[in-house]
Amino acid sequence: MAQKIDRRRFIKLAGTTAFAVSISSVLGGCDAAPSEPSSPSSSASSEAPSSSSSSSNSESSSSSDTQPQKIIWTTRNTNDGNAILTGYDSSGAQPMGVITLPEKWSGRKIVELDGNLGGKITKMIVPGCYKKVHYGGSKYLEELILNEGVETIYQFDGSINLRNVQLPSTLKEIGSSAFLGCTSLTSIRLPESLETLGWHAFTETGLTEITVPASVVNYDFNRSSAPFYNCEKLVSATVKGSVLSDSMFEACPRLKNVSLNDTILEIPRLLFKGCSSLASITLPKKLKSIGSDAFRECKKLTSISIPETVTEIGDAAFMQSALQKIVLPNNLQTISWAAFRECSALKAVYIPVSVSKIENNAFDKCPQLSEVYYPANETQWSYIDIGEYGNNLLKAANMHYYASPNFLR
């Protein structure tokens, strides 16, 4: 009986050793291809002819009673002799747990991941020879490690349990939907090498703070990428560069701490729309324009200092904000449509002599507006083209001619 027990232990030990050997044969280095099956009884390995640049190929593993199946990765070849990882063959093992992606397969170096690997991968380690990484997302994925060399990542969207992401210093682009809906992702460090933030790159994540490095100068869809749209837990944001995106922080209801670089020239449209916790902000010193709806529905924004360099304020820029008073800059020429509409707490406004037109509804539904300060005389005020609709309260307010903006500062 003792001999039978020893034999069972021996078989169990042998199976464990074989499993370790099987796994190590899958995880190769950039300089060496994975080991080919050595037994004639192994399942067939299919490899595309080297002359074909677009066919898929896969490599299978040996299987026996004592050796578990290997993962059979599937790839497609590139014109330059490399390969792109596309998934795995269901006839082999399913990717599970901690997985380091192969650096070579069927004698070709892998330079890209393009496809959902399926399985139940909880931690994915991507070698540096992968220049571009496109996964497709997984509810099982909890950790993502991109090694030095990776340059582009996109579409890991829907990875709701992803909590830890390490980005390399070589990363240049975080593309469309990179981490869209990754609600468990609460923090991430963006590298100084990063140049592009894609469409909805971090939309609806669990981020609580973010610093966008100065290297970021590009945004998808003509700067309408909305990379942090609807990040409901985002509290603090720092932008070190000179370029912003439309809707960049739109619908971030907890955002209250914002730091912008002084080299920024434009506040784009919808930038802070719906940021209902934003109570104050310092605008860049050289700012030239404030886009439409930029501060719309900022219901705690009671005051703001607009630099004298600003020449344009877009439609509905401060609509439904909590502003109590406003000093408009001396280079402004037009107060746009609905710029301060439904600012229910607005009591006083300073309008510079440079303004020649006040469009319809600019001060519509501002029930407390009662004081208007103007630096010139009544005759000059009469030359301003004031829109016929929605400006009755402005026209009925007490006028203070020859007034200084300091009265409201």
pLDDT, tens digit (0-9, with 9 covering 90-100), for 281-298: 999 999 999 999 999 999
Q: DSSP 3-state helix, strand, coil percentages of the chain (rounded to 5)?
A: 10, 25, 65
Q: What is the pLDDT of residue 137?
A: 83
Residue scoring higher pLDDT (368 or 51): 368
| Model pLDDT, residue 26 | 36
- Which pLDDT value is given to residue 83? 98
pLDDT at 252 over 80: yes
> Would you tell me how many other CB atoms lie within 10 Å of the CB of residue 204?
18
Is 345's pLDDT higher than 60? yes
Res. 57 pLDDT band, cuts 50 70 90:
very low
Q: What is the pLDDT of residue 223?
A: 60
Q: Which of 3-7, 12-16, 137-141, 150-154 has the highest mean pLDDT?
A: 150-154
pLDDT in the model for residue 285: 96
Mean pLDDT computed over every residue of the chain: 86
Mean pLDDT of 172-200: 97
Per-residue model confidence as pLDDT tens digits over 306-328: 999 999 999 999 999 999 999 99
pLDDT above 80 (res 350):
yes
- Cβ–Cβ < 8 Å for 128, 152: no
pLDDT at 406 exceeding the cut of 90 = yes
pLDDT band at 225 (very low <50, low <70, confident <90, very high): confident
- The order of strands in the sheet holding 312-313 is 266-267, 289-290, 312-313, 334-335, 357-358, 385-386
Q: Closest Cα to residue 152, out of 195, 186, 213, 199?
A: 195
pLDDT score of 222: 58
Largest Cα separation within the chain, whole Å, is 115
Q: What is the pLDDT of residue 11?
A: 36
Residues 128-135: what's their mean pLDDT?
Answer: 96
Contacts 24+ apart (CB under 8 A), 317-321: 317/290, 317/291, 317/292, 317/293, 318/294, 318/343, 319/293, 319/343, 320/296, 321/295, 321/296, 321/297
Q: Tell whether the model's pLDDT for residue 4 goes beyond 50.
A: no
Beta strands in 89-217 (DSSP E): 96-100, 104-105, 108-114, 120-126, 132-134, 143-146, 152-154, 164-166, 173-174, 196-197, 209-212
Enumerate the domain spans of the chain.
293-409
Inform me whether the pLDDT recorded for 338 exceeds 80.
yes
High-pLDDT (> 90) share of the chain, %: 79
What pLDDT, on a 0 to 100 scale, did the predictor assign at position 337? 98
Specify the pTM.
0.83
Tens of pLDDT, residues 64-94: 444 578 999 999 999 999 999 999 999 999 9
Q: What is the pLDDT of residue 116?
A: 86
Q: How many helices (H) and strands (E) does the chain have?
A: 4, 27
- Residues 115, 137 contacting (CB under 8 angstroms): no
Higher pLDDT: 5 or 409? It is 409
**pLDDT of 1 above 60:** no
CATH architecture under which domain 293-409 falls = Alpha-Beta Horseshoe (3.80)
